[in-house]
Homo-oligomer: A and B are copies of this chain.
Amino acid sequence: MTGYLYSILKPFANFSQVPFIDGQLYFIPLGGSGEIGMNFNVYCCDGQYLIVDVGITFADDSTPPGIDVICADLSALRSVRDQLVGIVITHAHEDHVGALHYLWNQLKAPVYCTPFTASVARRKLGEAGLLDQVPLHEVLPGSLLELGGFQLEWVTLTHSIPEPNALVIRAADRTVFHTGDWKLDPHPIEGEHYDDGRLLSLGESGIEFVVGDSTNATVEGWSGSESECRKALHEVIASQPNRVAVTCFSSNTARLASLGDIAHETGRRITVLGRSLFNYLQTAKATGYLKNFPDLVPTEDLDYLPKSEQLILATGSQGEPRAAMARLAKGEHQDLLLEPDDTVVFSSKVIPGNEKKLYRLYDLLSQKKVRVITEQDAPIHVSGHPCRDELRWMYRALRPKVVIPVHGEERHMASHSQLADEMGLGSARVVNGDVLQLDPTGVNCIARVQTGRLGLSGSSLIPLNDRALSERRALADGGLMTVTVVLDKKARLATEPQVQFVGVPSGDIDPETLNGDLRYAIEEILSEQNSRTLQSDDGLRSALQREIGTLVRQWLGVKPKQLVNIVRL
């Protein structure tokens, strides 16, 4: 590992405060390093800033309730917003392009991506009403592009979506290979093959730094090819006697192409359930993919087909409760009821955190006597990210001086870094907010900038530590009680106090009796206060909260959040 001086300083609130040196190139991830998701990378050179990827991440069990979508906090970029030379999107996955419409107002720089990605981005921007405002430029795979002082080369790789691009970024006499998401798939089914000749010649011309995908860096071997996956899928589907419903990631065009071919080969017709599949099918066809994909059978015509000729493609491979597969499992899909001896195929991995949700689906299907086949039963899924042998191949080809692992959680990045060390390459560790000076004699972290996660709440992006969000947790755990007292000018009760509970089970206690007892208790508490407390809203509120809280805890065994309204006439 090369020298890595960790800044012990408080993070800078603004990029303009960072002591950048002219003639040097810097790499600063604001998202995606130390996590899988929310990729947002900044390269900075001579006062110019280049953004690579603008992704979201999804909520998990550590996220406050009511938040589904999370974006990187870009507040540090505010002070240099007019120095952005462009936004480059490597490919169309949500964790790379999904935040463009949420963060656009904070960026407002021209966007560059290849046609498939552009088509996905346009749909999102259109839905957000931003299509006219965003200058979206299509770049062909393999082309060159100059953005301010940055020379970019788009290098085609393979992944699990069409047009995954690595970028060669040249600035200030430095050369970085920014991998994006990739694998080495010799038979990718759809889209371009990776160009090993170009990778080798880039290695010869001198790549100094690789900023690279760590997702599978803990996994030995190769990720496997879509064409192997297709063979296994064919075998599984061909051997089913009845209806087969397959779910996979909707953006995996190669998988969809395979399923189209398999339908043809096994004498089945395809019906699609779920909006996201329709969207991606449309995008893929509009950009020249899925040329041989068969015409769909509309759901209303499904009954005319024998069950052995039906192949259903359904959204929801992660058990998303509102997606088609969850509805099918629950028997709640309006267009289709699965029956005993039907088969459901999960041609997908279980993303960590979704295990329980998926096991529940398997159980619901199993209860209906529907056969469930997952990647545990047959090799019907391959990952889109490089395993260790692919990383080794790439580093042998590119011969970088320093590998900088990104796109991974701590253990993935550590494993990636260890692999680089074992190969005799340098490695540098980075987390979101680190300002890395890309010096080939040693990558140094010269500073940190403010970073963080913002949750989408309605139309606002709010910090995940917003007080309102912690209040939600308290409300969720214990519910709420409100007490309303109306006092006249002499601070006497003008009418009966009111008590309401929300989210507080009264258990065996009759709610009417409980409320009556509490109203009486409130009158008692008020009568015991001295006139100074009675005149002070704060004093009165804390007296009521304290004493009523104790009573409720005694009577119900719980501690709801309390809201005391004091109204003075």
Query: Which residues on A are within 8 Å of B, measured CB to CB?
Result: 34, 60-62, 65-66, 352-353, 355-357, 359-360, 362-364, 366-367, 372, 409-411, 414, 457-462, 466, 468-469, 471-480, 482, 484, 486, 494-495, 498, 500-508, 553, 556-558, 561, 563, 565, 567-569
Contacts and interface: CB of A to CB of B under 8 A. Distances in A.
Contacts of A567: 484, 486, 495, 498, 567
Given A475-B480, A502-B561, A356 B353 contact: yes
Given A364-B410, A472-B477, A486-B569, 11 more contacts: A61-B356, A62-B356, A65-B65, A66-B476, A352-B355, A362-B411, A367-B410, A459-B556, A460-B505, A460-B507, A476-B476
A354 to B, nearest CB: 9
Contact of A65 (B360, B364, B476, B480): B476
Give how many copies assemble into the complex. Answer: 2
Contacts of A500: 563, 565
A565 B565 contact: yes
8 contacts: A34-B363, A61-B357, A359-B411, A362-B411, A366-B410, A458-B507, A459-B556, A569-B569
A363 B36 CA distance: 12
A505 B469 contact: yes
B410 A508 contact: no
What 10 A-B pairs come out closest when comparing CB atoms?
A458-B557, A460-B507, A476-B476, A65-B476, A459-B557, A363-B410, A472-B503, A458-B558, A475-B475, A471-B503
Contacts of A501: 468
Contacts of A352: 355-356, 359
A379 to B, nearest CB: 18
A563 B565 CA distance: 12
Q: Which of A372, A503, A506, A565 has most chain B Cβ within 10 Å? A: A503
A553 B474 CA distance: 23
A475 B479 contact: yes
Given A458-B556, A459-B557, A477-B66, A503 B353 contact: no
Contacts of A62: 356, 360
Given A61-B356, A460-B507, A507-B459, A479 B484 contact: no
Contacts of A494: 486, 569
Q: Which of A462, A468, A506 has most chain B Cβ within 10 Å? A: A468
Nearest to A488: B569
Given A62-B356, A353-B356, A410-B367, A505 B565 contact: no
Contacts of A65: 65, 473, 476-477
Given A352-B359, A460-B557, A476 B472 contact: yes
Contacts of A475: 472, 475-476, 479-480, 502-503
A264 to B, nearest CB: 32
Contacts of A457: 505, 507, 557-558
Nearest to A564: B500
Nearest to A508: B460
Contacts of A363: 34, 409-411
Nearest to A413: B366
Contacts of A366: 410-411, 414
A502 B500 CA distance: 15
A474 B500 CA distance: 16
A495 B356 contact: no
A91 to B, nearest CB: 25
A433 to B, nearest CB: 14
A475 B479 CA distance: 8
A459 B475 CA distance: 19
Contacts of A367: 410
A439 B68 CA distance: 52
Given A475-B472, A477-B66, A480-B475, A502 B411 contact: no
Contact of A466 (B34, B409, B505): B505
A457 B560 CA distance: 11
A273 B187 CA distance: 53
Nearest to A509: B460
Contacts of A508: 460
Nearest to A567: B486
Nearest to A357: B61
Nearest to A355: B352
A179 B479 CA distance: 42
Nearest to A561: B502
A187 to B, nearest CB: 30
Contacts of A353: 355-356
Nearest to A376: B218
A556 B469 CA distance: 15
Contacts of A506: 468
Nearest to A462: B505
